[in-house]
Amino acid sequence: MKAWMSAVIALLFCGALTVSGATRIDDPVVFVRDVLQHFIDAQSRKQTYKPPEDIYTAELSKLFRDDKKRSHGEVGCLEFVFWVNGQDWTISKLDVSAGEPSNQSRKMVIAKFDNLGTQQEIHFAFRKVAGRWLLDDVKSLKEPGWTLSKILSCAP
């Protein structure tokens, strides 16, 4: 009986590990392309899509938490979906590529696309932390330009 209980507990523990695993980013370019493709797929099904939230560096995660705490359940300083640079989206002409800098610990991903007919260029900065690629900051180069970390800090 004791051996049987140990086997059941071991199976439950193994199952819990696979269910609650963190999002793994092997290649930041592929990851950004996949996230934006999920937005495109959702738009064709008239659904919403929420990207994973366990992909941020500690610094960016803290900014998200602080913004949420300050907002008291209301809209915080980030009033749009940064992935698509808008509250709504109809994405077309998607092009995702590697940019500079690119080395063992940092990668820049450049996403160019049209959203609702307006050209977008968004740069996603990734940093490798403890063997994991994590999103460190995001910047839109099209007017009006913005930087995610500054928005989350409620900086003007």
CB 153 within 8 A of CB 55: no
The pTM of the full predicted model, rounded to 2 decimals, is 0.83
Per-residue pLDDT of the chain (156 residues; tens, 9 = 90+): 444 333 333 333 333 333 457 899 999 999 999 999 999 999 989 898 999 999 999 999 999 999 988 877 677 889 999 999 999 999 999 999 999 877 889 999 999 999 999 999 999 999 999 999 999 999 999 888 999 999 999 866
What are the extents of the domains in the chain?
26-152
Collapsing DSSP states into helix, strand and coil, what is residue 25? coil
Rg (CA), the chain: 19
> What separation in angstroms does the CA of 101 have from each of 74, 106, 134, 138?
36, 7, 15, 14
CATH number of 26-152: 3.10.450.50
